[in-house]
Structure 1
Amino acid sequence: MEKLVESSYKHVLQNINKPNLYKDLFPYDEIPKITFNDIQVPMGLPKDIWITDTTFRDGQQSMPPYTAEQIIKIYDYLNKLDNNSGIIRQTEFFLYSDKDRKAAEVCMERGYDFPEVTSWIRANKKDFELVKKMGIKETGMLMSCSDYHIFRKLNKSREEAMKMYLSLVEEALSNGIVPRCHLEDITRADFYGFVVPFVNKLMEMSKQSGIQVKIRACDTLGLGVPYSGASLPRSVQSIIHGLKYCCNVPSEAIEWHGHNDFYGVVNNATTAWLYGCSSINTSLLGIGERTGNCPLEAMLVEYGQLTGNTKNMNLQLITEIAEYFKKEMKYDVPPRTPFVGSQFNVTRAGIHADGILKDEEIYNIFNTDKILNRPVVVAVNQYSGLAGIAAWINTYFRLKDEDKIDKKDERILPIKEWVDNQYKNGRNTIIGNNELELIVRQVIPEIFQIAS
């Protein structure tokens, strides 16, 4: 028997004369405030969760423009990374330049099931004509929902903004195109005074047309917080819960789009999943406006942690994709970035190196070699000691079982002596892999036969 839910209260548009800017929360000359009302909303991870991509939209607009060839190559990467698992379900394209339209056409011609090619447009009918000409089945539509944007950017009233948005959705539905409504700046919006009555209108139109209108909740400035009992408009839990239970938006039609301005982008995205949102919008390497978007690779790992499996995704491609961005785009991934940074599984501390020497599981987050094609690495410096040098040899040459070098092996004593002399003579940088490889070749040449 289905649970009966109280639904008699009807939220109506509050068409106020002056914008509600929540200055008690966002004083601008001070750090924003987080308030709590201690209202608890139920957790409810949907049965089906997935990821969408904005590398070619939000990612591209924060980088030098990608060439058509680069876009197509990255799209192919996304398809191979997903590997027909259906976890990376969609990606979105700009349509404003000939280059972007050509790239989108080529990607559509690939015929991949995943990720589906969708588009992104501003809330005007001129932009919508581009979608129709391209034959794209679903498009994102920018629909700013905070008074910061409605009053100050659009110079409209709430009622005027709503009418403009609804007319574009009507145009999409009449052409059989799925509208994905991007509720920009939802974490500074009047949720019950604008968002809920607006989304209720969208759901009415969805029901009448038989086409599911999608809602993207956009945390444009990264102001969302995942904390239990936090108040709107910043509460991720309450936003997702409200869309589901005040607006009757099904989980599969709710998408979360976050930014990392306050370091919360991954936690907020995971919270959105946990409280009933099926889709998380991401970009490769987290590249996006200001501090960036939610990293796609982070949410693939979060997916694995929440569901207990990664289906048949080819996660080793994450490493290859990061290398492609480095070499082709000249994009420097911060070295300590989880999963993709050059130092993310490198240890320098002697005590950690000793632990890795005994059992790599002690200080490695998971089998990074198997899952990401990134073997654990021990860097050698003045603090590494015999254990650090032995651990470097074992990890660098991928020695296993009886072939592994022990820290008590006398053959590493001259290597340790060489390292010590480097720092006695004033060196202040780590020893490079190429340097260590040369001295290992001199002192323990047989390792190269074992490793070959």
Structure 2
Amino acid sequence: MIQYDNNRHLLEQHAYAYDLQDVDQPNLYRDLFPFSEVPSISFNHRHVPMDMPASIYITDTTFRDGQQARAPYTVEQITTLFDYMHRLGGKNGCIRQTEFFVYSKRDRESLEKCREKGYDYPEITTWIRANMQDFQLVKDLGIRETGILVSCSDYHIFKKLHMTRKQAMEHYLAVVKEALSAGLRPRCHLEDITRADFYGFVVPFVDALTRLGTEAHMPIKIRACDTLGLGVPFPGVALPRSVPGILYGLRHYADVPSDLLEWHGHNDFGLGVANACTAWLYGAGAVNCSLLGIGERTGNVPLETMAMLFSSFRGESCGMDLSVVTEIADYYEHVIGYHIPPMTPFAGSDFNLTRAGIHADGLLKNPEIYNIFDTQKILSREAAIAVTNASGLAGIACWMNQFYHLPDSLSVRKTDPLVIRLKDWVDREYAQGRVTSISNEELDACVRKLEPGRFPAQKEQR
């Protein structure tokens, strides 16, 4: 059938119908995933069009997938992080939802305390496996939406569930029907989609889900899950690893609208953020993330990074309070006791810190030269200097101006005698075999020894 597309203003073919291929043997794509070698990336040079939705947003899995990679959060920690997410996402709900486990008493207590806050965003949802016992847990809680695990690759269907594709599909659909009959909005998590037979299972299964939702007058959400981080964002990559191909296929062949389509990625091959951005660009309305990217193995897509990239795509913050990222990082470090790797974008202690003298010299002349944006205005994080043997006079002068919060009228230059004397002390430290950065406390003590009373006492700020 040929239909006119009101968005692209073209006649397009929509006569695509794929039947379930109930194979006897699993398709494990051994040419791509030999297991004894690094997985291959295959190209077929088929390019699909970008299809950025009018509305994009972020969903969160900190209290679900994020808890599978660390000690469980306490109830107080969950409710505090939920508050931070609410403030970060803003009144427009840029962080639209967050999902909870419901298996333990602590999980359910946390969910209830967060629900008591009455926030519109992020909406509280849950996650269950595709079985009736899990479904009953969610039904009793009175939640409006739940994620349902529906593994879609033959690795899972044959080797984990010990089912055929037909059996798996019928099993999944039965649980989804129960959810619909109870008035629950199902969100189907297509686990391991980047190793799945896209046309032989994924598309016919999603078509069946869509028919169920239409009959129940309750649209079903689809979450495409790159469970092992095998997705690839490059144009022209062949399925099943092509992120553009998966999103285009779900939109064009399975007719899933963008507002019902979500991407969940992992970072095993370092492409988590790139894949999430690609998912937005090719039609996903939402990308699923966790705070600081904490998740299984190499982690999930970092929520704070996607908040920044959301702003980059839209050209504005859209009501988000990005400075909350700094508060979240401080809370993880000082209350939860989680050590954030220093180089972590936007949240790590060193993300806007320089140790190079040439960079410090640039910051002295103009902060735009070596800072990605006004980090003080946007994140309440001033560009910082760490003094090492590579800092030079410029680095030490820059450190003084920042640490003592000196206005332009009182700022020191690299020709200042105090700067020169402090550099001599730094050089002696390293000449004696020191290999670490010099702390702010050490530098401050030396400054007060060299020129007592020149600067007022200052508390170090992050």
Shift of 1:393: 1.1
1:446 aligns with 2:461: no
> How big is each residue's C-alpha offset from its partner over 1:358-411, in whole Å with a ceiling of 9 and x where there is no partner?
111111111111111111111111121111100111222333322221111223
- Aligned residue for 2:64, secondary structure, equals helix
Counterpart in 2 of 1:293?
300
Counterpart in 2 of 1:341?
348
Task: Check conservation: 1:441, 1:448, Cα contact below 8 A.
Answer: no
1:262 aligns with 2:264: no
Counterpart in 2 of 1:163?
170
CA distance in structure 1 between the aligned counterparts of 2:319 and 2:259, rounded to whole angstroms: 22
User: Which residue identity lines up with residue 219 of structure 1 in the other structure?
Assistant: D
Counterpart in 2 of 1:246?
253
Select which of 132, 138, 142 maps to 1:135. 142
CA distance in structure 2 between the aligned counterparts of 1:399 and 1:206, rounded to whole angstroms: 62
Counterpart in 2 of 1:366?
373
For structure 2, the 5+ residue unaligned runs are none
- Aligned residue for 1:63, secondary structure, equals coil
CA distance in structure 2 between the aligned counterparts of 1:267 and 1:383, rounded to whole angstroms: 33
Select which of 288, 295, 317 maps to 1:281. 288
TM-score scaled by length of structure 2 = 0.95
Select which of 325, 329, 333 maps to 2:336. 329
- Aligned residue for 1:360, secondary structure, equals coil
- Aligned residue for 1:306, secondary structure, equals helix
Select which of 47, 69, 80 maps to 2:76. 69
Select which of 390, 406, 417 maps to 1:410. 417
1:85 aligns with 2:59: no
User: Which residue identity lines up with residue 392 of structure 1 in the other structure?
Assistant: W
Task: Check conservation: 1:145, 1:189, Cα contact below 8 A.
Answer: yes
Shift of 1:266: 0.1
Task: Check conservation: 1:398, 1:451, Cα contact below 8 A.
Answer: no
CA distance in structure 1 between the aligned counterparts of 2:459 and 2:21, rounded to whole angstroms: 71
> How big is each residue's C-alpha offset from its partner over 1:297-332, in whole Å with a ceiling of 9 and x where there is no partner?
010011011110112211111111112112233211
User: Which residue identity lines up with residue 408 of structure 1 in the other structure?
Assistant: T
Task: Check conservation: 2:69, 2:296, Cα contact below 8 A.
Answer: yes
TM-score scaled by length of structure 1 = 0.97
1:28 aligns with 2:35: yes
- Aligned residue for 2:176, secondary structure, equals helix
CA distance in structure 2 between the aligned counterparts of 1:17 and 1:282, rounded to whole angstroms: 36
CA distance in structure 2 between the aligned counterparts of 1:418 and 1:338, rounded to whole angstroms: 32
For structure 1, the 5+ residue unaligned runs are none
Cα separation, partners in 2 of 1:438 and 1:291, compared to 1, 3 Å: same
Task: Check conservation: 2:403, 2:458, Cα contact below 8 A.
Answer: no
CA distance in structure 2 between the aligned counterparts of 1:385 and 1:212, rounded to whole angstroms: 62
> How big is each residue's C-alpha offset from its partner over 1:200-241, in whole Å with a ceiling of 9 and x where there is no partner?
111111111111100000000000000000000000000000
Cα separation, partners in 2 of 1:171 and 1:354, compared to 1, 3 Å: same
Counterpart in 2 of 1:433?
440
Q: Which moved more, 1:240-249 or 1:318-327?
A: 318-327
CA distance in structure 2 between the aligned counterparts of 1:399 and 1:141, rounded to whole angstroms: 56
Superposed, 1:105-120 pairs within 5 Å as 105-120=112-127
Counterpart in 1 of 2:401?
394
- Aligned residue for 1:117, secondary structure, equals strand
> How big is each residue's C-alpha offset from its partner over 1:54-111, in whole Å with a ceiling of 9 and x where there is no partner?
0000001111111112111111111122231310000000000111011101111111
CA distance in structure 2 between the aligned counterparts of 1:177 and 1:413, rounded to whole angstroms: 69
- Aligned residue for 1:448, secondary structure, equals coil
CA distance in structure 2 between the aligned counterparts of 1:67 and 1:279, rounded to whole angstroms: 28
CA distance in structure 2 between the aligned counterparts of 1:130 and 1:109, rounded to whole angstroms: 19
CA distance in structure 1 between the aligned counterparts of 2:322 and 2:277, rounded to whole angstroms: 19
Q: Which moved more, 1:275-284 or 1:73-82?
A: 73-82
Q: Which moved more, 1:375-384 or 1:181-190?
A: 375-384
Cα separation, partners in 2 of 1:450 and 1:109, compared to 1, 3 Å: closer
CA distance in structure 2 between the aligned counterparts of 1:9 and 1:321, rounded to whole angstroms: 46
Cα separation, partners in 2 of 1:18 and 1:405, compared to 1, 3 Å: same
CA distance in structure 2 between the aligned counterparts of 1:384 and 1:355, rounded to whole angstroms: 12
User: Which residue identity lines up with residue 293 of structure 1 in the other structure?
Assistant: N
- Aligned residue for 2:190, secondary structure, equals strand
CA distance in structure 1 between the aligned counterparts of 2:254 and 2:74, rounded to whole angstroms: 41
Q: Which moved more, 1:54-63 or 1:387-396?
A: 387-396
Select which of 187, 190, 195 maps to 2:197. 190
Counterpart in 2 of 1:207?
214
Quick one: percent identity of the two aligned structures? 55
CA distance in structure 1 between the aligned counterparts of 2:448 and 2:49, rounded to whole angstroms: 61
CA distance in structure 2 between the aligned counterparts of 1:125 and 1:256, rounded to whole angstroms: 26
> How big is each residue's C-alpha offset from its partner over 1:414-451, in whole Å with a ceiling of 9 and x where there is no partner?
21121112122222211101111122234453332899
CA distance in structure 1 between the aligned counterparts of 2:12 and 2:20, rounded to whole angstroms: 22
Cα separation, partners in 2 of 1:386 and 1:212, compared to 1, 3 Å: same
User: Which residue identity lines up with residue 161 of structure 1 in the other structure?
Assistant: A
User: Which residue identity lines up with residue 353 of structure 2 in the other structure?
Assistant: V
CA distance in structure 2 between the aligned counterparts of 1:230 and 1:6, rounded to whole angstroms: 23
* Corresponding pairs, count: 452
Task: Check conservation: 1:41, 1:238, Cα contact below 8 A.
Answer: yes
1:315 aligns with 2:338: no
CA distance in structure 1 between the aligned counterparts of 2:85 and 2:207, rounded to whole angstroms: 34
1:145 aligns with 2:178: no
User: Which residue identity lines up with residue 175 of structure 1 in the other structure?
Assistant: A
Shift of 1:160: 0.4
CA distance in structure 2 between the aligned counterparts of 1:224 and 1:86, rounded to whole angstroms: 27
